[in-house]
Amino acid sequence: MYVGIKTDPNYPLGEFRGSTASRALQQCDVAVGNVPGVMAERVAAELRRFERSITQRMAKLDAACPDGASDAATIADIAELAAFAHGEWVRIHPFADGNGRTARILGSWILLRYGLPPVLRLRPRPSSADYVRAAAQSMANGDHRLMREHVLDQLSRQFGAS
């Protein structure tokens, strides 16, 4: 994920903000534009909540469609889960850097898990207005509907799924 990315060799890559691995991370608050991420001291708790929620959502989706995407309603449910995973990661912003790439990996992994192609490009960062608007909405208030619509649109455009 960090190939070609210049990083400080002393920086603890892979550690979450709020971590005791370094003083810089303990107090590392971030923002995208003028929208702040979760405060560093809340990251661990938010990640535990995220893990519980995504585990429950995946179990429900696994039970509902054990063979993956089969119809438009199932595809919409899968897109919603991918949007949730992407959007919550962006909203929590657990790393000091690399959150967008990680969010797109999570969303794409969910699509692949259920037999759909990945439509969230890792690099370069997607720059379409709808992607940027959707990510900003997720970051600002945890509303992932625009990201769901973006994923569905990309599936439809690129692969004929609906």
CA dist., res. 85 & res. 124, Å (int): 20
d(CA 12, CA 59): 33
Annotated catalytic residue 144: no
The number of C-alpha atoms within 13 Å of 58 and in the hemisphere containing its C-beta is 15
DSSP 8-state code for residue 40: G
The closest alpha carbon to 76, from 150, 143, 158, belongs to 150
State CA 56 to chain mean position distance: 17
Q: Which residues are catalytic?
A: 93
